[in-house]
Structures are given as structure tokens and as C-alpha cells.
């Protein structure tokens, strides 16, 4: 099992690079650079590529609506080049709040768009002339929709690899099935190991049945908060607040992926209460409505024995990468948590 860590949304690039250098030293295998509505992820990934030597660098995630498919492929090829073949392309749909609210782009057909983007990326990395006639993307643009001067082109540069690993953030059954079919990695959120089979077992099996063996085994990458110690209960409030935000506020009624996930986990009544409070502005009440079970079982917060047991549960559920969020106030504290986790891995 690998250890990874997402980086923060904000902060200076130099300070983050110094910390990633230390994470590399203590044995972190991969770091993820997010892109919400902060600085773009690509700038920081390029900076980190120049300041590190071994650690893998992943976008966590590039939103599929904010770049053309060929630009996504070009960007991945460039980051893979400057990092010496250490880049992982993490992509995902994000949600309507960010895509429509910040970028002003319609949030439509995320499933179909993702599949087409992956296909186009592979063409670009193989240096083929890109030709794609899909439902959502048409390359080159047909004459009747443009000037008629467009023609198929291939990437000028020679990529380090003709198949850069792709990691897809997915929650819904159809999206998870597609991810298991076409991607090297899958990144769910709020992963509850004991309930994973009932929620995702069938779509994962369907996707794997269609999977190209050349892709290898699916990397299942989850991101629980981490705090190992004898007096950590108060830190459970941090994931509780995050769960309340996502289940209650990340989407309107009937259009909230995280609410649906809580339902599929068996917390339908709790999810309804959380959303009711959150949308009414009662955020504290929303947090109190988050079940303790959901908070604890989707976290690595507790004693060594507790965390060791949770790590085993994740491994038994097929997790291959723990991209943990160490709950510590500074870099040294985060490094100490990573080292403690490393000692507990099977």
C-alpha cells in the first residue's frame, strides 16, 4: 500500500516545495495538487517537478470542463516531461458550483465527456494525428462548424511516455464503472471500507470485466484524514465539519453527489437532516447531525491499534493508495504522522 498526501489550496509555492521535499524523504510516494478556484494546479506541479527527484506528482484534480481535451493531454505530457516521467493525470468533473459559478461553463454530460477526453489524451500521447468524432468533442472541427481550414495534427514533441497514468475522481455507479474500465486509478471520496462492496462492488466488477489488461490493476486511491495518538477525539470535529459541508451544501436538493453517497451508505435520514440544516444556514446543527459512525469509519483518527485496524479494513476493501490528510499544525507534525502511519502498514 502506497502513501500519498494532498497539498493545500493556498500558500506559497516555495514553502510547499520545501515540505514536499521532506515528504519525499520520509517515504511519501505521491502528492496531489488540487485545483478548485485557487491558483491553477499546473504552475505548482511544474515548480514541484523542478524541486523533487523521486516522488510522483498528480493533479488532484484537473476539472474536465475547464480545458479542451487536447490541452489537457498537452499539459500532462509537458508535466510528465519536466518531472522525468513522474506525473499522474488526475481528472474529474468537480461540480456545478465551481464549473458554472466560477468558470461560467455549463455542467453537462460529465460521464460522456470524461470517456472522450481519455480517448483523445491517448491519441495525443501516441503522437497520432488527432481525429475524434464524438458526441461532445469533434476534432478537427467540421467545415460546417468552422472555417473549413482545420486539419488533423499530432503533438510536435515526443512525450516521455505514450501512456501517462490517468486517475479519475468518481462516485456514481456509472462513472465508477467507466473508471474501472478505462483508467489506471480511481479516486473516491469519503470511502467507507466496510460498505464499499455494497455501494461500488457491482460497478467496479462490470468495469473491470471490460478493462484492457495493459492497464494493470486498478489503483484505488482514498483520502482519509489522519491523526494517530491517544488523545485525538477532538480532531474528529474536522472531518465532521467537512462531511456536513459536502453532504449539506455541495449542491442543491436532488443534485448533490455526496448526499447520494451518504444515502447509499445507509444514512438517508441523517443526510436529509444534514441538508435541511445546512441549506437553512444552521451549519453547526448540520455538523451535529453527521453520524459518529460515518465520521470514524471514513477516517484514520485514533490510537495506533484503531488506525492499524482501519488500515487493514482499507486494504481488505482493495485500497492501494492512502492519500491521507494529516491533521497537524505544521510540516514537522505532518511528517511525524506520515512516519507513524508508515510503521502501521502491512
> All 3 cell numbers of residue 76?
500532462
Exposure string over 96-108, b if 16+ CB within 10 A, otherwise e: bbbbeeeeeeebe
The boundaries of the domain holding residue 39 are 2-229+301-344
Helical packing angle, 331-344 and 304-316, nearest 10°:
60
Same structural domain, 199 and 67: yes
Based on the domain organization, do 183 and 82 belong to the same domain?
yes
Is the CA virtual torsion 11, 14, 19, 21 positive or negative? positive
Mean pLDDT of 263-269: 98
Residue 15: predicted pLDDT = 86
Cell of 159: 512525450
DSSP β-bridge partners for residue 3: 322
Q: Which residues contact 160 (CB under 8 A, 6 or more apart)?
A: 77, 80, 81, 84, 85
Q: Residue 203 is placed in which grid cell? A: 460497478
Best CA proximity match to 73, nearest among 147, 9, 156, 144: 156
pLDDT digits (tens, 9 = 90+) for 140-177: 999 999 999 999 999 999 999 999 999 999 999 999 99
List, for residues 24-63, the tens digit of each pLDDT value: 989 899 999 999 888 999 999 999 999 999 999 999 999 9
Residue 14, pLDDT score: 85
Within 13 Å of residue 82, how many CA atoms lie on the same side as its CB?
17
Count of structural domains, the chain? 2
Return the closest-CA partner of residue 271 out of 247, 252, 294, 255: 247
Do 246 and 105 sit in the same domain of this protein? no
The 3-state DSSP class for residue 59 equals strand
| Span 262-277, average pLDDT | 98
Alpha-carbon gap, residue 5 to 254, rounded angstroms? 32
Asked if 141 and 181 sit in the same domain, the reply is yes
Q: Give the three-class secondary structure for 179.
A: helix
Taking the model in full, what pTM does it have? 0.96
| Whether residue 168 is found in the same domain as residue 260 | no
Task: Report the pLDDT value the prediction gives residue 166, as an integer from 0 to 100.
Answer: 98
- DSSP character string of 193-227: HHHHHHHHHHHHHHHHHT--GGG-S-EEEE--EEE
Q: Please tell me what DSSP assigns to residue 254.
A: T
- Tell me which residue of 23, 41, 47, 55 sits closest to 226, measured CA to CA: 23
Do 205 and 88 lie in a common domain? yes
Q: Are residues 58 and 136 in the same domain?
A: yes
pLDDT in tens, 103-113: 999 999 999 99
Pair (68, 23) in one structural domain: yes
Contact (Cβ atoms closer than 8 angstroms) between residue 45 and residue 17: no
Regarding whether 294 and 205 lie in a shared domain, the answer is no
Is residue 331 located within the same domain as residue 275? no
Q: Are residues 272 and 326 in the same domain?
A: no
The answer to whether 69 and 116 have CB atoms below 8 angstroms apart is yes
For residue 162, give the CATH number of its domain. 3.20.20.30
Whether residue 236 sits in one domain with residue 187: no
Amino acid at each position: 500500500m502506497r502513501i500519498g498526501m494532498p497539498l493545500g489550496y493556498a500558500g506559497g509555492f516555495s514553502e510547499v516545495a520545501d515540505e514536499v521535499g521532506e515528504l519525499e524523504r520520509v517515504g511519501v510516494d505521491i502528492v496531489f495538487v488540487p485545483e478548485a478556484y485557487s491558483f491553477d494546479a499546473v504552475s505548482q506541479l511544474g515548480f514541484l517537478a523542478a524541486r523533487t527527484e523521486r516522488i510522483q506528482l498528480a493533479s488532484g484534480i484537473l476539472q474536465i470542463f475547464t480545458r479542451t481535451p487536447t490541452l489537457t493531454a498537452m499539459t500532462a505530457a509537458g508535466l510528465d516531461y519536466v518531472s522525468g516521467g513522474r506525473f499522474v493525470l488526475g481528472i474529474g468533473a468537480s461540480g456545478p458550483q465551481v464549473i458554472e459559478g466560477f468558470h461560467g461553463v455549463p455542467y453537462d454530460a460529465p460521464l460522456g465527456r470524461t470517456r472522450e477526453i481519455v480517448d483523445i489524451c491517448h491519441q495525443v500521447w501516441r503522437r497520432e494525428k488527432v481525429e475524434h468524432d464524438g458526441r461532445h468533442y469533434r476534432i478537427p472541427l467540421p467545415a460546417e462548424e468552422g472555417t473549413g481550414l482545420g486539419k488533423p495534427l499530432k503533438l510536435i514533441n515526443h512525450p516521455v511516455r505514450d501512456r501517462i497514468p490517468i486517475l479519475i475522481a468518481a462516485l456514481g455507479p456509472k462513472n465508477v464503472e467507466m473508471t474501472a474500465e478505462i483508467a489506471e486509478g480511481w479516486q473516491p471520496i469519503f470511502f467507507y471500507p466496510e460498505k464499499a462492496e455494497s455501494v461500488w462492488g457491482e460497478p467496479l466488477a462490470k468495469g473491470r470485466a471490460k478493462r484492457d489488461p495493459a492497464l494493470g490493476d486498478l489503483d484505488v486511491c482514498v483520502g482519509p484524514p489522519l491523526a494517530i495518538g491517544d488523545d485525538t477525539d477532538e480532531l474528529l470535529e474536522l472531518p465532521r465539519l467537512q462531511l456536513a459541508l459536502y453532504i449539506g451544501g455541495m449542491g442543491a436538493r436532488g443534485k448533490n453527489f455526496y448526499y447520494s453517497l451518504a444515502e447509499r451508505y445507509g444514512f438517508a435520514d441523517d443526510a436529509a437532516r444534514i441538508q435541511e440544516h445546512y441549506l437553512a444556514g444552521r451549519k453547526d446543527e448540520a455538523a451535529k447531525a453527521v453520524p459518529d459512525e460515518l465520521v470514524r469509519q471514513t477516517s484514520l483518527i485514533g490510537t495506533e491499534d484503531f488506525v492499524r485496524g482501519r488500515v487493514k479494513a482499507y486494504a481488505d476493501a482493495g485500497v492501494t493508495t492512502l492519500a491521507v490528510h494529516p491533521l497537524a499544525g505544521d510540516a514537522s507534525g505532518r511528517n511525524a504522522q506520515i512516519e507513524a502511519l508508515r510503521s502501521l502498514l502491512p
